[in-house]
Amino acid sequence: MYTVFNPGIFSFLLVTLITPFVIFFFKKMNVIQPIRKELPPDHQQKKGTPLMVGIVFYIGVFVALFYSTSNFMLLLCAIFVAFGFIGFLDDSWKAVKKDPGGVSGKTKLIFQFIFTFIFLFFLIHYFEFDATIHITKEFSIIMPLFLYVPLISLFIVGSANAINFTDGMDGLLTNVAIPTFIFFFLTSSHIEIQILSIALVGCLLGFFIFNIYPAKGFMGDTGSLAIGGILVFFSVIEHVEILVPLLFIIYFAEQFSVIIQVYFYKMTGKRIFRMSPIHYHFSIKYGWSENKIVTIFGFISWLGCGLAYVYWYLFM
């Protein structure tokens, strides 16, 4: 087991050493995060913070490949890089155009669906992946491919974007994602998923040093979409979709707060939340500090992943 921890240790050390240089470089090149005007004053103070620092997470990909170059590991790393590439395009647009909106949502969704179909094709045709939803050890739902592929594609893209929504405060996604990766490290039957999970935990811990409030750099969509893409594919590959409401409890809370806010406003002209995603609501309405929100949301994520692990251990 010690050997399996090594990718995390090496990733942590490398990210800790390299991130300050990445932050300095992006600041020098004026690759900075434009701040939305409607955000509260404490967020306006973050103007000038380097963007795309999540590129250091690719250190974890290289570390994982150092430990395994199997075809399955190559596929996992390709998933991470592909979703990260979409985020990179978005961040590049924000930095060059000084537009906090980035690339249009439609464009990002098209890319995400294309990559999702491609990776599902490889999983099904080359890695003996079956279209099964596991409920317990004794009970599973086997779906025909013509139904499974479109449904699971919607699930993958929707969940990846839910994770992306969580990257809105200093250290928030970093703190919330760590227990999710640890769950897959502990439960996966694939050594490649174990290696990549612990490598990315090391990356997140190293990045957290520079991302905790007040952040010296933001991961950007370059990091958050890559994290979102790989976590959702982990859940599909491991057939733990039934546990996703627990594993992704914070991510879904963030996403549904946006959906509910938009729908309710269109219907009534009023808002349920002071601002969405929901982490802004706690900041504006209740005056919670970023550190308090990050700590509480992180605790909820640990709790959700802990309960998911108990269900997995007892029933799966």
277: preceding bond cis by omega (within 30 degrees): yes
* Paired strand residues for 32: 50
71 carries a ligand binding annotation: no
221 among the known binding-site residues? yes
Tell me the C-alpha distance between 1 and 42, whole Å: 44
Integer Cα distance of 8 and 181 in angstroms: 11
Return the half-sphere exposure (C-beta side, CA atoms, 13 A cut-off) of residue 218.
Answer: 28
Q: Name beta bridge partners: 50.
A: 32
Contact status, residue 280 vs residue 39, Cβ threshold 8 Å: yes
Of residues 111, 121, 114, 67, the one with CA closest to residue 90: 111
With CA atoms as reference, report the closest residue to 64 among 238, 217, 224, 190.
190
Distance CA 145, CA 150 (A): 9
Q: Which residues are documented as binding site for Mg(2+)?
A: 164, 221
Q: Which residues are documented as binding site?
A: 164, 221
